[in-house]
Structure formats: structure tokens, C-alpha cells
């Protein structure tokens, strides 16, 4: 077994990276997959979201942070902290196991194995605000050494990396360990411009990695609600057309991989503005079950696309 390592990235903030990272982790775990989420974004929103989802508070995270058991410790390579972690619990240093109870998706309860799961475990390397000042040129070597020393590629089915909303050392570190990437995006006047800039960076990075990085696709996030059959409101249609034209005519060639939109797309919903970004929640299922179903569909698409790429090798 070798893990599928997926970076979730975009150079623009507010496009749904945390939403995709956390929900994909939950849905993969619901399918009984071994999942590790690495929060490499200094804003550490995925860390906060998952700790709140599983424990309803951040008390455990604060404890880990005070003891230096976040991703900052990994990049600082603080051996004493790592050794103490091993002595305390026998686990791989800096990795915390989150044990969660998840609700069924009623409409899928009789049709999908994932809907019948109740207890899941997601392993996480928690993010940390201090990461923004501690990263340096040797970070990729440290992350690579950490992967090798702790046999992470053999320990997990999926490793998800939530990247920062910029192209810098942290993003290149994440991509250096990835096989795949997903690009969440809005549909607005900046989306095509932002993805074209991202494409140039991905081209250079993929060339340095001998072409190993493969796109799983672009996922449209936080779209305007509409009754249109294709799910795209009038205000978004021109932006969608321009973006998809760019993907086919230029980006595919640049990154040496087909970059196509996912069939599943996500619209804005007021319920989730001030609440957890995770869709499979007990409070949400009564009136927002469609979002949980969509994320389950999206996860199926991700698994299918990985299979297609791996089988084509």
C-alpha cells in the first residue's frame, strides 16, 4: 500500500480549501479509509474545524500547542518533544488521532456503506499560527525525512494537505510530497486570472518533480443559489465558460495533466456561514442533507479519478 497524497490549494483565500479538506477527510474516514490530514496553512482553520467537530472545543488543541506537538515542532525538528511524545503514548510524534461520531445520511443509509458508519478516526498533524515565521529553506527535507522515518506512505490510504492561500515555501513543501492536487475555486472575475497564475507555478514545480503531480480537478465552491438545471446562475456562466476554456486550451498542457471541473459543485448556504464547515453534522441533516449527500458524491468522484490516473500508469 502507498498513500494517495493530495494537496488542496489555491492562491486565493476564501475559496473553500478548509471545507474540502475537512469534509473529504470525514467522508474518506467514513468509508473506513486510513486518513491523515496535514494542516500546513498558518491560519490552521482545518485544525480548528476538526477539533471543534470532534470535541466541541479547542481544549485538546491548546494542550498540544503548549507542548509543541503541532506542525511547528515537526519543522523545528525538536527531537526532545518527539521523543517525549513517543514515550507518552507510543504514537508517531506530532500526529493526533481524532475520534468522532458522525450521523448517518438518511437518504443514503440503505445504499452506501459510508452512510452506516458511526465511529471514525482521522489522524491530523495540527497546524499552528507560528508556522508562518518558522518555515525555512530546509522545510521540504524535514517533511520528507519525517514521511520516510515514520513510514507514512505505508501507514495511510490518504494523506490530505491543506495548503496556505499563497504560493510560497509552505505550498512547495506540500507539493513535494504530493501525488495529486485539487483546486477549489469560486466563479468570479478573479478566478481565471488566479488559476492561470497558479498554473505557471504548478508547471515549474511539476517539472522539478519529473511530472509526478497529477490534477484531480477543479471544484466550484460557494456558488449563487439557482434553479437552473446545470446549477450555474446567470451571474457565474461567463466566468465558468472563460475558466473552462482556459483549462482545456492552456492549463492541461502546462501542468501535463487534465484539469477538469468536478461534476459536484457547492452553493452558498447561510446555515454554514457561522457554523462548522463540515456538512455531515446532526443539526444540519434535517434541513441541509443535500450538502452531506453532495460531499459524499464528491468523495466518490475523487476516489474514481485517483483510480483512473493510477490505472493509466
Q: Which residue has the higher pLDDT, 152 or 137?
A: 152
What share of residues in the chain are helix, strand, coil (percent, to 5)? Answer: 50, 15, 35
Alpha-carbon distance 11 to 198, whole Å?
7
With 70 as the cut, is the pLDDT of residue 85 above it? no
Instruction: Decide if 78 contacts 68 (C-beta within 8 A).
Output: yes
pLDDT for position 281: 83
pLDDT for position 110: 61
Helices 191-208 and 234-246 cross at an angle (nearest 10°) of 30
Those residues with Cβ within 8 angstroms of residue 143's Cβ, 6 or more apart along the chain or in another chain: 74, 75, 173, 176, 177
Per-residue pLDDT tens digits for 15-30: 999 999 999 999 999 9
Alpha-carbon distance 27 to 147, whole Å?
24
Q: Which residue has the higher pLDDT, 106 or 202?
A: 202
* Cα→Cα distances 149→71, 114, 142, Å: 16, 32, 10
CATH topology of domain 4-312: Rossmann fold (3.40.50)
Instruction: Decide if 128 contacts 65 (C-beta within 8 A).
Output: yes
Those residues with Cβ within 8 angstroms of residue 245's Cβ, 6 or more apart along the chain or in another chain: none
Q: Please give the mean pLDDT across all residues of the chain.
A: 88
Per-residue pLDDT tens digits for 53-75: 999 999 999 999 998 889 988 88
With 70 as the cut, is the pLDDT of residue 166 above it? yes
Those residues with Cβ within 8 angstroms of residue 131's Cβ, 6 or more apart along the chain or in another chain: 40, 42, 44, 70, 71, 72, 75, 170
Band of the pLDDT at 237, cuts 50, 70, 90? very high
Instruction: Decide if 190 contacts 239 (C-beta within 8 A).
Output: no
Which sign, positive or negative, has the C-alpha torsion 168, 14, 272, 279? negative
What is the arithmetic mean of pLDDT over 75-95?
A: 65
Given the C-alpha cell 515537526, which residue does it identify?
Answer: 74
Alpha-carbon distance 225 to 231, whole Å?
8
Q: Structure pTM?
A: 0.93
Q: Which of 10-24, 225-239, 270-284 shows the lowest per-residue confidence on average (mean pLDDT)?
A: 270-284
> Which three-class secondary structure state does DSSP give residue 133?
helix
| DSSP run (H or E) holding 35 | strand 35-39
What is the arithmetic mean of pLDDT over 111-140?
A: 77
Band of the pLDDT at 80, cuts 50, 70, 90? low
Alpha-carbon distance 90 to 17, whole Å?
32
Amino acid at each position: 500500500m502507498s498513500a494517495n497524497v493530495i494537496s488542496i490549494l489555491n492562491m486565493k483565500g476564501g475559496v473553500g480549501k478548509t471545507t474540502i479538506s475537512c469534509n473529504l477527510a470525514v467522508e474518506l474516514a467514513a468509508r473506513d479509509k486510513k486518513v491523515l490530514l496535514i494542516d500546513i496553512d498558518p491560519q490552521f482553520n482545518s485544525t480548528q474545524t476538526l477539533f471543534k467537530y470532534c470535541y466541541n472545543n479547542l481544549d485538546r488543541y491548546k494542550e498540544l500547542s503548549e507542548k509543541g506537538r503541532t506542525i511547528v515542532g515537526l519543522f523545528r525538528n525538536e527531537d526532545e518533544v518527539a521523543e517525549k511524545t513517543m514515550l507518552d503514548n507510543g504514537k508517531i510524534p506530532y500526529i493526533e488521532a481524532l475520534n468522532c461520531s458522525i450521523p448517518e445520511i438518511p437518504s443514503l443509509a440503505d445504499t452506501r456503506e459510508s452512510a452506516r458508519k458511526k465511529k471514525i478516526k482521522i489522524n491530523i498533524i495540527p497546524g499552528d499560527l507560528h508556522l508562518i515565521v518558522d518555515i525555512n529553506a530546509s522545510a521540504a527535507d524535514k517533511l520528507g525525512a519525517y514521511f520516510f522515518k515514520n513510514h507514512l506512505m505505508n501507514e495511510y490510504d490518504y494523506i490530505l494537505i491543506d495548503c496556505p492561500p499563497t504560493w510560497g515555501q509552505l505550498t512547495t513543501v506540500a507539493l513535494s510530497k504530493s501525488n495529486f492536487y485539487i483546486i477549489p475555486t469560486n466563479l468570479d472575475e478573479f478566478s481565471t486570472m488566479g488559476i492561470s497564475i497558479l498554473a505557471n507555478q504548478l508547471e515549474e514545480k511539476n517539472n522539478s518533480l519529473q511530472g509526478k503531480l497529477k490534477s484531480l480537478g477543479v471544484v466550484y465552491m460557494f456558488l449563487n443559489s439557482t434553479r437552473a438545471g446545470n446549477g450555474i446562475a446567470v451571474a457565474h456562466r461567463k466566468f465558468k465558460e472563460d475558466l473552462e476554456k482556459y483549462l482545456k486550451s492552456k492549463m492541461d498542457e502546462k501542468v501535463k495533466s487534465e484539469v477538469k471541473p468536478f461534476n459536484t459543485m457547492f452553493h452558498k448556504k447561510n446555515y454554514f456561514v457561522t457554523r462548522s464547515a463540515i456538512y455531515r453534522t446532526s443539526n444540519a441533516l434535517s434541513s441541509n442533507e443535500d450538502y452531506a449527500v453532495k460531499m459524499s458524491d464528491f468523495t466518490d468522484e475523487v476516489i474514481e479519478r485517483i483510480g483512473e490516473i493510477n490505472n493509466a500508469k
